[in-house]
Amino acid sequence: MSLLEVKGLRRDYGALRAVDDVTFSLEAGGILGFIGPNGAGKSTTLRILATLDVPTAGEVLLDGKSLVDAPDQARPLLGYMPDRYGTYDDVTVREFLDFFARAYGLKGAQRRQRVDSVMEFTGLIPLAEKLTTELSKGMRQRVALGRTLLHDPRLLLLDEPADGLDPRARIELRELLRALADQGKAVIISSHILTELAEICDSCVIIEQGRLLAQGRVEDLLRSGADASQVVELVVRLAAGTEGEAVGARAERLMLEQPRVKDVTREASALRVRLELEPGSGPMQAEAAAAALLAALVAQGLPVCAFSPRERNLEDAFMTVTKGRVA
Ligand SMILES: Nc1ncnc2c1ncn2[C@@H]1O[C@H](COP(=O)(O)OP(=O)(O)OP(=O)(O)O)[C@@H](O)[C@H]1O
């Protein structure tokens, strides 16, 4: 049995079905991305998993214990970081964490040790005596994450933790989450910023209007969407030159004249070319089509300095699975 099993979860708010028959599972040591646009039902699902809300129907088992029937037994196993978290005025980082360690029932030396170990893990030792109100958003978020870790939970629920963080803080967050997964913790992280989740997560659930549209390992989601759509995107970079603008326009026209080219966009010295292959085409046909485009560019004397397929990302996978379903 998986550490977390979510089965047929539903949550109605009056006539609105915010979560509709959602089923997924997560193993210890796994990082699951919970992806969906605003209003998809991510926070509602996470709040139910955090035992802060009850489902209208369905079951959630955490280490075999029902969150619905026995929330008190499941609560020590989970840590929840909401999308909006507060800190208190006039308390230092250490005091803040110590306060919550007391709330978790930790006492004496064990409490001090736990607070120190959480501060060390989250890199907060140098900031221990700083007021929480003086911290940057990235550092405040580490304090919030540290607070979530004090009771050493086995499942972490993080609602949009990367929202509003600068790129450096995001990379640091990713490393912290990877270290937690390596310790055997299961992590669920929600976001509508798809590209950054691809680097953090092992698997993903894509949810929209309360319904689960796709789930699986990130690599599989990327690949399956690509096969289904038969779309290949290429990035062509032209050497920068004095007549760059004219060269770019010539290359763009030439690409649009080629069979199977459906769209070309030009940014500075790069062209993004979208090809649509015949149904049933595979990687060999895609490579042959790309080779023909490169040959056409070179035959016209266009100064191609780089030519590569654009890697599909989660955004593409999301667009493929949600196509036509957005109300
Ligand atoms: N307490 C509530 N009462 C009534 N409707 C609610 C309540 N909480 C959420 N909803 C509705 O349920 C739907 C799902 O909301 P939810 O907050 O779970 O989405 P989300 O995917 O987390 O979106 P966001 O990224 O905007 O937070 C929305 O239509 C929302 O308006």
For domain 4-223, the CATH superfamily is P-loop containing nucleotide triphosphate hydrolases (3.40.50.300)
C-alpha torsion sign, points 73, 76, 81, 85: positive
pLDDT of residue 327: 36
CATH value of 230-322 in 3.30.1330.10, 3.40.50.300, 3.30.70.270, 3.30.300.10: 3.30.70.270
pLDDT of residue 178: 92
The answer, yes or no, to whether residue 268 has pLDDT greater than 60, is yes
Do 206 and 320 form a contact (C-beta atoms < 8 A)?
Answer: no
pLDDT mean over 96-101: 94
Q: Which atom of ligand 1 is nearest to the CA of 192?
A: 25
Q: How confident is the model at residue 62 (pLDDT cuts 50, 70, 90)?
A: very high
Q: How confident is the model at residue 278 (pLDDT cuts 50, 70, 90)?
A: confident
DSSP β-ladder status, 186-191 and 203-208: unpaired
Centre of ligand 1 to C-alpha 41, Å, is 6
Q: Which atom of ligand 1 is nearest to the CA of 159?
A: 22
Q: Give the chain's largest Cα–Cα span.
A: 77
| 37 ligand 1 Cβ < 6 A | no
pLDDT of residue 185: 96
Which element (helix H / strand E) includes 155? strand 155-159
**Ligand 1 atom 3: residue of nearest CA:** 13
**Ligand 1 atom 2: residue of nearest CA:** 13
pLDDT digits (tens, 9 = 90+) for 209-257: 999 988 988 877 766 655 555 777 888 888 876 455 788 888 999 999 9
- Residue 267: both structure tokens together: 């940014």
pLDDT digits (tens, 9 = 90+) for 161-179: 877 777 788 888 889 999 9
DSSP string of 5-67, one letter each residue: EEEEEEEEETTEEEEEEEEEEE-TT-EEEEE--TTSSHHHHHHHHTTSS--SEEEEEETTEET
The answer to which of 43-47, 96-100, 184-188, 197-201 has the lowest mean pLDDT is 197-201
Residue ranges of the domains in the chain? 4-223, 230-322
Query: What's the mean per-residue pLDDT of the chain?
Result: 87
Residue type, 4: L
- Our measurement of the distance from residue 212's CA atom to the centroid of its chain's CA atoms, rounded to an integer in Å, reads 15
pLDDT digits (tens, 9 = 90+) for 13-39: 999 999 999 999 999 999 999 988 888
| 38 ligand 1 Cβ < 6 A | yes
